[in-house]
Amino acid sequence: MSATSTCKSWCTDHQEPNECYTEYVIYDNGVDERRTPPAPGSMAALFDYPKDIGWIKFCAGQDEEDEQPVMDLHFFEPGDVEPIVRLPLDTNVIKGLHSELGALLINFS
């Protein structure tokens, strides 16, 4: 459903009965398939991370009972449409993350 006149400015996909909602893919490595994990017990398996993240989606929703938007980052394995990890965030955490990451990246540019 498209945004209505009572929607939040960020609402792109209004939900029934009455929740403002939006989502954006904020990262996609472009890989459509999961990698093959190293053989169990092999040297490579010792240094293997349990999961590769293929893409990340930012989701925000807010209904009448929410004072603030409820925001999450959802992390997906390559090619998957169901998230394997959800990171709940509030505005201050996101701003902090943005600022920390920005400050860190200056050292690498």
| Closest C-alpha among 38, 23, 1 to residue 76 | 23
Is residue 11 a contact point for Zn ion (CB under 5 A)? yes
- Using the rule CB under 5 A, give the single segment among 19-27, 46-54, 68-76, 82-90 that binds Zn ion: 19-27
How far is the C-alpha of 26 from the C-alpha of 28, rounded, in Å?
7
How far is the C-alpha of 77 from the C-alpha of 52, rounded, in Å?
6
| Closest C-alpha among 47, 101, 48 to residue 73 | 101
Closer Cβ to Zn ion, 14 or 74, answer by number: 14
Sign of the CA dihedral running 36, 38, 44, 47: positive
Is residue 20 a contact point for Zn ion (CB under 5 A)? yes
DSSP-derived 3-state class of residue 108:
coil
In the complex, the smallest distance separating the C-beta of residue 17 from Zn ion, rounded to whole angstroms, is 11
Closer Cβ to Zn ion, 16 or 32, answer by number: 16
Closer Cβ to Zn ion, 8 or 74, answer by number: 8
Is residue 14 a contact point for Zn ion (CB under 5 A)? yes
Closer Cβ to Zn ion, 11 or 89, answer by number: 11
- Using the rule CB under 5 A, give the single segment among 2-10, 39-47, 52-60, 100-108 that binds Zn ion: 2-10
